[in-house]
Amino acid sequence: MAYADLHRASLQDPNAFWMEQAQAIDWVTPPSKALFDENAPLYEWFKDAQCNTCWNAVDRHVEAGRGEQTAIIYDSPITGTKRWISYVELRNRVASLAGALRAKGVEKGDRVIIYMPMIPEALEAMLACARLGAVHSVVFGGFAANELAVRIDDAQPKAIIAASCGLEPGRVVHYKPLLDAAIEAAAHKPDFCVIFQREQEVAELIPGRDYNWHGFQFGVAPAECVPVSGDHPAYILYTSGTTGQPKGVVRPTAGHMVALHWTMKAIYNVDPGDVFWAASDVGWVVGHSYICYAPLLAGNTTIVFEGKPIGTPDAGTFWRVISEHRVKSFFTAPTAFRAVKREDPKGEYVGKYDLSCLEQVYLAGERADPDTITWAQDKLGVPVVDHWWQTETGWAIAANPLGVEQLPIKIGSPAVAMPGYDVQVLDEGGHPVAPGTLGAIAIKLPLPPGTLPTLWNAETRFRKSYLEQFPGYYASGDAGYMDEDGYVYIMARTDDVINVAGHRLSTGGMEEVLASHPDVAECAVIGVSDDLKGQVPLGFLCLNKGADRDAAEVVSECVKLVRDKIGPVAAFKLAVVVDRLPKTRSGKILRATMVKIADGEAFKMPATIDDPAILDEIAVALQSLGLPATKA
């Protein structure tokens, strides 16, 4: 079936469409129907089914005679370690860990926090929870103690599974002291902790509370898969909230499996046995969906990579991993490619590896600027697919479904709405706007399976955050437009659309122009307060390695470029060259924090920031422009 027919069918008869996709899943009790809309605008999928995610991701492949196939490849350039874990070995390891958790009292519905680095044991911990019907909440390894404490109090876990440490190039991140401080600060105390001791740092265990990963499992009977209802939460994943209190996105078990399984062939174009690599972290939604669950549900081989795009050891590490492990589909963030491009603008490392196995590349996590996509397509010679989704949705809202039909690639667009998503662009009054007009991107309810039905213990906040702004729609929080062909263009978060003398302008559009300058490796545009115009745009420019030109010259060329491409209406006159941009650990640029610094306002240090020292560098750069910038 062609894409257009598939999308139309999914909106006209969602029940029939998703019941058909549900046939790919093993059910203990099959669902009687797909969509449960009795409680609209809160919708649920496959609610009356009984199923188990771990069975579908692991055991059924073993039962089908594919137990010797590699399930997980672990590749850590930081430790120089590689491991291959087969499906049968994975099943045995997961059943053993689940049995040990059960012996200590973890049951269906109990929460377990997982605080681990990029090692296979992180996936085993997630799957062990799924095996028991326990609800896991993975917190990015190395998160600050106070942030972990907030999540402990919200999820109220019976147990916490952690590692002794994480590893960054050149340093060890001490997890155990952070965990101890978080438990001390939290009002809720877990019954026990399980610590995976890494040889790079052995942590001190607290007697009676902490257990060693291996000793904890010794002599314990392995656990079987526990059936749960279709609406049972598979996990809670916290996403940063504007109020400072993180939002616990809930992922329902059945819809999660059906949707993710469908995406592996339809979007990522891989078949059982193919190697799929998402270069992300288990702490983020990409890691949940496309390092752990989706590849295993589809019988693929997934890669757990403990390294960085550059510096472990060089800008060729992605190409080494793809070549060595014969990766067919590769998924990363635009920021990772920008880092590689900045180090190796000519793509010389690409030529050092045999990449004949690679058939397609996917980008997500933030706007993919056309320059980065063009560079990647040019160097790799395969389709580079930008696609758009959110922690809340768990899988792509808009993409190019290569496994169904390769649609024309329009650089700058994550292509078209996926089945189940009725994407519309609305004005402030909630009315659809004409093609090409900037507005708020919203999705007509119901959202498809696998998306969030609510927030953990916060239904009122769920309604307020997503459903109240445009009744009958899910408000995505992103701004953009659609063209006549239905291609979506995400230009900014709605907060990043700036109002310059009454004109609503997209910072993303300006970033696109700046990124096209040959010396600019990466950039960001924010709106700063202006007495006359309300707001004016300000650009931050990071230059390519080896670009030794005068910064003032580059700035003046960039100002002219924006004036030529967007026009005087943009009022783009301010730009500054900086060494690096403040980002979260997942690579998102901290624009809202930069706005506060530029406007001289007090700000809270973002919990997810990669390196706090960057904020002072930004403040100094802004002060050089005469702005009232505040330091951290």
Q: Where are the beta strands (DSSP E) in 77-182?
A: 81-86, 111-115, 135-138, 159-163, 165-168, 171-174
Does residue 532 fall inside a structural domain?
Answer: yes
Q: At 549, which CATH number? A: 3.30.300.30
Handedness of CA 42, 45, 48, 53 (dihedral sign): negative
Q: Is residue 53 part of a domain?
A: no
pLDDT digits (tens, 9 = 90+) for 27-78: 999 999 999 999 999 999 999 999 999 999 999 999 999 999 999 999 999 9
- Residues 104 and 154 sit within 8 Å (Cβ to Cβ): no
Contacts of 218 (CB under 8 A, 6+ apart): none
Residue 614 is which amino acid? I
Q: Please give the angle made by the CA atoms of 182, 192 and 161, to the nearest 5 degrees.
A: 70
Residues near 451 by beta carbon (within 8 Å), at least 6 away in sequence: 255, 259, 392, 393, 394, 395
Q: Which amino acid appears at position 551 of this protein?
A: A
The number of domains in the chain is 1
**Does some domain include residue 190?**
no
What pLDDT is stored for residue 502 in this prediction? Answer: 65
Three-state SS for 353?
coil
Q: Which regions of the chain are under pLDDT 70?
A: 240-244, 495, 501-502, 504
Provide φ and ψ at 291, rounded to 5°: -100, -45
DSSP three-state, residue 505 = strand
Q: How far apart, in whole angstroms, are the C-alpha atoms of residue 575 and residue 523?
A: 10
Q: Which pLDDT score, from 0 to 100, does residue 51 have?
A: 98
Adjacency order of strands within the sheet including 135-138: 210-212, 192-196, 159-163, 111-115, 135-138, 233-239, 247-252
Residue recorded with tokens 């990409």: 286
What are the angstrom distances between the C-alpha of 603 and each of 143, 527, 595, 597, 627?
A: 19, 16, 10, 7, 16
- Decide the pairing of beta strands 165-168 and 135-138: unpaired
Cis check: omega of the bond before 446, within 30 degrees of 0: yes
Domain containing residue 535: 501-623
**Residue 365 contacts residue 334 (beta carbons within 8 Å):** yes
pLDDT, residue 386, reads 95
> Does the residue 577 lie in any domain?
yes
Give the E-state strand segments of 269-322 in sequence order: 275-278, 301-305
Q: Which of 44, 64, 5, 235 is nearest to 139 (CA)?
A: 235
Chain length of the chain: 632
Pairing between β-strand 228-229 and β-strand 50-51 as defined by DSSP bridges: antiparallel
CA 85 to chain centre: 24
Question: For residue 590, is it within any domain?
Answer: yes
- For residue 549, tell me if it sits in a domain: yes
DSSP string, 190-239: -SEEEEE-BTTBPPPPPTTTEEEHHHHHTTPPPP-PPPEETTSEEEEEEE
Q: How far apart are the first and last CA of the chain?
A: 55
398 is written with which tokens?
Answer: 């808009």
Residue 517 phi/psi, 5° resolution?
-70, 130
Q: Looking at the domain assignment, is residue 458 inside a domain?
A: no
In a domain, residue 560? The reply is yes
